Amino acid sequence: MLDYVVACGGGALVGLVELFSRYRDSPAALLGVASAWMYIAINAAASGGVLLLTHTFALTFGASEPGTEGTTQVLVALFGAPTVLRSSLFTIRVSGQDVGIGPSSILSTLLSVADRGVDRARGRDRSRQVVKIMRGISYDKAQLALPTFCLALLQNSPQEEQGKLAVANEALAGSEMSDAQKAFGLGLLLVNVVGLPLLREAVEAMRDEIAADPDRAGLPQQAAPARAI
């Protein structure tokens, strides 16, 4: 039983790490999504299935030393099952894109289902939090300063991720949305990279420099003092 616990646990860990890598800003959001647990369970079951096959057919993979057969079978299950799940028997081209046919297509479908489930679960909270954080912020003032400040706070932000953020921010700047709408959009872009807590701290630290003017932020303006006649 210990062999199956280790094999299934290792397969589940592979699926969990893969999902965590896709939602680095809020990994805890996965805990309440049934489709994410299904994806993890499929990876665990695959490792357990491979181990069962090695036991059924008494495959030792060349291990001859006493006591090493079981360890070898567990290692094969741990590393072999994820490889098999992510492999393609052949590739076809559909609408200009290469589509793999095999276990990888099934796993990709399950991953897409997990993605949609996590996105739906997180979307409402992200919308509420980002609007609250970015309210009263001028996009014109923040479009360069805020991303630069946030990325400088991170020590290990990949260059590829920074490049994607810059491209998306440039597209946002060229849109016809209002300044406030662009500010909310910038907040959503930054949340994907730095997460909600760091975005909140960065905005509060720079609020005096990137706050919108009262007339643009929709805030009441102070009445001008009456002049004496």
Return the SS3 of 138. coil
Q: Please tell me the predicted confidence (pLDDT) of residue 95.
A: 66
Q: Point out which residues pair with 99 in neighbouring strands.
A: 92
| pLDDT, block means (10 residues), the chain with 229 residues | 91 89 73 83 92 87 76 88 78 67 79 80 83 95 96 87 94 94 96 90 96 64 44
Per the CB < 8 A criterion, the answer to whether 173 and 4 are in contact is: no
Q: Please tell me the predicted confidence (pLDDT) of residue 57.
A: 87
Per the CB < 8 A criterion, the answer to whether 42 and 107 are in contact is: yes
Write out pLDDT tens, residues 170-191. 999 999 999 999 999 999 999 9
**Nearest 5°: phi and psi at 57?**
-100, 10
**Nearest 5°: phi and psi at 67?**
85, -5
Q: Please tell me the predicted confidence (pLDDT) of residue 99.
A: 64
Q: How open is the CA angle 86-89-94, to the nearest 5 degrees?
A: 95
Structure tokens belonging to residue 185: 């959009």
To the question of pTM greater than 0.75 for the whole model, the response is: no
d(CA 110, CA 79): 20
Nearest to 147 by CA among 208, 217, 211, 210: 210
Q: Please tell me the predicted confidence (pLDDT) of residue 223.
A: 43
Give the largest Cα separation in the chain, rounded.
107
Residue ranges per structural domain of the chain: 2-113, 135-217
